[in-house]
Each structure stands twice: as C-alpha cells, then as structure tokens.
C-alpha cells in the first residue's frame, strides 16, 4: 500500500512531472495572452479533495504499521477499533 501511495504522490506532483505541474498552472482565456500563472496551492476543488483523501489514506496506513510496533498501547487506547471503523 505504501508503494501505491508513494507512486500516487509522485504522479500528482510529489516530484516535478507533467501531471503535477499542469494541475497547478492557470492558462489565460485569451489566446492573445501568452502568459500563465503557476499556483503554489491549487484552488481546484478536485485537486484539493484528492490531496486530502490521499493524506488521510497515508496516515491511516502508517497507523496500521505502527500498531504492530506499539500493540499494547493501541489496544489500551482502543485505536485499532477506531482504525477499523475508518477503513470500512
């Protein structure tokens, strides 16, 4: 799962590539205007929703890994049950 999430983050701008860069560029509506704007943060709703969903998936996957290292603590705090609810 981590490999999938890593590749997705690269594909969507974690490293410079056409897809990641194009999602942050605003092209002018006028063909006469030869400039473009590169946004530090996208204002596109789809891009933002995808980024938020991906961040949550990576965080939850990290917790599933840490549960094996910190098993007693996760059981004591009931974290595993909460993670199972989020996963479904």
For residue 59, the 8-state DSSP code is: H
What's residue 73's pLDDT? 92
- What backbone torsions phi and psi does residue 25 show, to the nearest 5 degrees? -105, 135
Mean pLDDT across 12-33: 76
Q: What is the mean pLDDT of residues 60-78?
A: 91
Please state, in angstroms and rounded to a whole number, the distance separating the CA atoms of residues 27 and 86: 38
pTM of full prediction above 0.85: no
Cα angle value 45/60/17 (rounded, 5°): 50
List the Cα angle 77/4/26 in 5-degree steps: 110
pLDDT in tens, 25-52: 778 888 788 888 877 777 788 888 988 8
Domain boundaries, the chain: 2-87
Mean pLDDT of 38-67: 85
């Amino acid at each position: 799962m981590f490999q999938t999430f890593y590749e997705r983050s690269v594909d969507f701008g974690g490293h410079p590539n056409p897809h990641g860069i194009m999602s942050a560029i605003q092209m002018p509506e006028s063909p006469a205007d030869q400039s473009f704007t590169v946004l530090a943060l996208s204002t596109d709703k789809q891009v933002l929703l995808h980024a938020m969903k991906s961040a949550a998936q990576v965080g939850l996957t990290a917790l599933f890994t840490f549960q094996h290292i910190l098993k007693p603590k996760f059981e004591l705090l009931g974290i595993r049950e909460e993670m199972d609810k989020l996963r479904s």
